Amino acid sequence: MAGLCYRRAVLLATARAEGGTWTTRRAYRTQRLAPRRRTARLDLAYLARTGHLTATDGTARAYTLPGGTR
């Protein structure tokens, strides 16, 4: 996870451990590392842009791990 700040690295590790669909609300409530929901949303978008997550159904608000939910 080189290049990721601590907050994003923890979010990615949690997403990999728990699987499923990740929304801004889930990321914010699960981690509480982001000072605002906007930060959680931007972190999810960053992880998607860098290939760690994939947007579901073409939306920019829900993400899964590439190749499925787990």
- pLDDT the model gives residue 23: 93
pTM of the model: 0.85
- pLDDT the model gives residue 59: 62
- Full residue range of the structural domain in which residue 53 is found: 6-64
**Dihedral of the alpha carbons of 59, 53, 44, 14, in degrees to the nearest 10:** 130
- pLDDT the model gives residue 51: 94
- Residue 33 Cα distances to 14, 43, 56, 58, angstroms: 12, 11, 24, 27
- pLDDT the model gives residue 70: 52
> Is there a domain that residue 1 lies in?
no
For every one of its 70 residues, what pLDDT tens digit does the chain have, with 9 covering 90 and above? 567 899 999 999 999 999 999 999 999 988 777 788 899 999 999 999 999 999 887 666 899 998 765 5
- The domain tally of the chain equals 1
CA-CA distance, 43 to 32, in Å (whole number)?
13
What CATH number should be reported for the domain holding residue 36?
A: 1.10.10
